[in-house]
């Protein structure tokens, strides 16, 4: 049951990543140069109050190098890359374990 949940989350994240690839490709064709939507911009459009709460929470609870460098880098990544990464992580968590050693022979 849990594997199904993680596989479903991976599918949803992958679908969102594909959606943002199409949006970015359309924008790129429109302006005749490569354009990517930063994750911070997408996050701010979807939930502006949540983004500010997230930044405030990180400022209080995380070390300075996380809030200054790593968070800014993560929020600057293209949105499709962030959701593709989430999809990959959820897929790896939800995949069936590979049979090893003598377990393969029993089948």
Burial of residue 46, with CB atoms counted within 10 A of its CB: 0-12 exposed, 13-18 middle, 19 or more buried = exposed
- In the chain, how many domains are there? 2
Give yes or no for a contact between 104 and 20, defined as CB atoms under 8 angstroms apart: no
Domain identity same for 33 and 85: yes
* Tens-digit pLDDT profile for residues 60-90: 887 877 777 788 888 899 999 999 999 999 9
Residue 3 structural domain: 1-37+79-95
Asked, for residue 101, whether it belongs to a domain, the answer is: no
Domain identity same for 42 and 31: no
* Tens-digit pLDDT profile for residues 12-50: 999 999 999 999 999 999 999 999 999 989 988 888 898
Question: What is the distance between the alpha carbons of residues 24 and 36, in angstroms, rounded to a whole number?
Answer: 5
- The β-bridge partners of 78 are 38
Asked, for residue 63, whether it belongs to a domain, the answer is: yes
Question: What is the distance between the alpha carbons of residues 52 and 48, in angstroms, rounded to a whole number?
Answer: 7
Question: What is the distance between the alpha carbons of residues 14 and 27, in angstroms, rounded to a whole number?
Answer: 20
């Amino acid at each position: 049951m849990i594997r199904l949940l993680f596989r479903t989350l991976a599918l949803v994240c992958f679908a969102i990543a594909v959606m943002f690839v199409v949006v970015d490709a359309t924008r790129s064709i429109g302006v005749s140069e490569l354009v990517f939507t930063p994750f911070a911009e997408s996050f701010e459009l979807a939930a502006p109050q949540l983004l500010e709460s997230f930044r405030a929470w990180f400022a209080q609870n995380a070390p300075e190098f996380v809030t200054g460098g790593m968070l800014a880098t993560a929020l600057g990544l293209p949105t499709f890359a962030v959701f593709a990464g989430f999809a990959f992580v959820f897929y790896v968590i939800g995949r069936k374990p590979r049979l090893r050693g003598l377990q393969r022979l029993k089948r």
